[in-house]
Structure 1
């Protein structure tokens, strides 16, 4: 009996070591996946604050919480099962789906650019003016969650790409960890951004932090304007990047190859900042592709005969 108990304890110890090793593998994979998705995370954080502009300050954090819950629902209920099914049964289907998502982001970015060019005649703002506060809030949350779905899809796809050689259970755990951490990080940062002026006002009331508080309050309008531009540029960059990557996956390498060639040449020309130049050229090339694709989609939608009531 004692020898049997010792053998059982040895087995338990072995299982515990195996579990610890597996957890280390999951943590490492989640860390790699999160770092590779950092660019899309920044885009998500830049785009989202625009959806609470023009709404009551008292509703800003509740709205961000609604969007965060929608984002988590996107990731865990829809994108996670879809990613695992695609990984197991139809990995070839992932690139075209991501390209469609990229085209949608490019379309939204070009629409925003056209609205800015039109200036005073903003149809979206005019339509919003006819809505009640509850209807406007619902519209903003719905739009933010739709955009988040595309960005979350890219995040989950990047994360999945780092663990395709792992067992299916480990892929699932890594994707859950990435979804939770990135959602918390993005919407925590967004919450800070949109409440920065309130934090600044609070700090300005205290002599020790008055200067810092005033700087935060004065910087808020500038930051929101910059985020609006960055958010639009981010949609072009991410959307165009999805399309360029998809073209490469299908071995249509004329455009991806040209961008890569220019980026490589720029990096070799100035080795001291080669990594930065390589990223900058790739991002710019992707944004140009995004601008063209978004322009084509917008033109097609405006030229197609659509019934007007």
Structure 2
């Protein structure tokens, strides 16, 4: 009996080690998948604060919470099942879908870049002052619709990173990614939209340096928002271009990807800064591709129809 008990304990210990290893593998894979989606996460974080502009300060966090819950529903109830079914039965379709999403990101980035250069603003920004008159349900609905596109891109990027995992492992990893990304994005968004209030609170304190820090925080926030918006545009162009380069390579057109890889290899061996230069070359090359593709789509969507209408 003692021998049987020892064997049973050994089996339990082996199973526990296997389970722990599986958890570690899933955690590592979820981490890799989340990192791959960083560019889209930056974009999501940069876009969302605009939806609470004009709302009463006490309603900002509740509205952000509602948008976050809508984002989580998007990921878990709609995008996740569809992505898993595609990966199981039509895995060849993931790369084209990913490229469609990359093209959309490039288009969005190029459109925002054009607005910066031309001085024009998107309808969302133009309507920011009017949002006081818009009820919260409409604000949340609009934000959740925009989030759906970005969330779909995040989940497909994550799925593409773990496509070789077993079905249930993929499902668990994507659930973890959905939770992590949603908490990260809307936690940062909540902090950003309340930063003015935090600064005002600190500015009312008696301690001199605390008051100065609070006033500096309030003064700096418009610039911080401008930087976030710029980073979001660059991220869209970079991530969109990188997705397109990788997608064309996977589909058999190796030229653009090989050229970028050749340029990377030229700076990789530079002492001390080789790694940084390699990253910069990859980022710049991907951003250029994203800008070119995005500019073509912007031209087709905005300028050609307008020219036909004029004629």
TM-score (norm 1): 0.84
Classify 1:300/1:63 alpha carbon distance in 2 versus 1 (closer, same or farther; 3 Å): same
Partner of 1:237: 238
Q: For 1:174-189, list aligned pairs within 5 A.
A: 174-189=173-188
Q: Is the 8 A contact 1:71 1:152 kept in 2?
A: yes
The RMSD of aligned alpha carbons is: 3.1
Contact 1:52 1:63 (8 Å CA) reproduced: yes
The 8 Å contact of residues 47 and 232 in structure 1, kept in 2 or not, is answered as no
Spell out structure 1 runs of 4+ moving beyond 6 A: 1-11, 128-132, 305-308
Structure 2 CA distance for partners of 1:130 and 1:189, relative to 1, 3 Å: closer
> Could you say which residue in structure 1 is the equivalent of 2:78?
78
1:94-243 aligned within 5 A: 94-119=94-119, 125=125, 133-134=133-134, 141-208=140-207, 209-243=210-244
Tell me the distance in 2 between the aligned counterparts of 1:82 and 1:168.
13
What aligned pairs does 1:25-104 form with structure 2 within 5 A after superposition? 25-104=25-104
Distance 1:144 1:160 in 2: 24
Q: 1:174 to 1:148 in 2, by over 3 A?
A: same
Tell me how many residue pairs correspond in the alignment. 306
Residue 79 of structure 1: CA displacement? 2.2
Are the counterparts in 2 of residues 196 and 217 from structure 1 also a CA contact under 8 Å? yes
Segments of 5+ residues of structure 2 without an aligned counterpart are: none
Q: Deviations over 1:234-287 (max 9, x none)?
A: 22122222212211111212222222222221333x331222221222111222
Contact 1:64 1:191 in 2 (8 A): yes
- Pick which of 86-95 and 150-159 moved more: 150-159
Bigger shift: residues 77-86 or 195-204: 77-86
CA distance in 1, matches of 2:201, 2:29: 41
Unaligned runs of 5+ in 1: none
TM-score (norm 2): 0.83
Does the C-alpha gap of structure 1 residues 144 and 108 become closer, same or farther in structure 2, counting only changes over 3 Å? Answer: farther
Partner of 2:257 in structure 1?
256
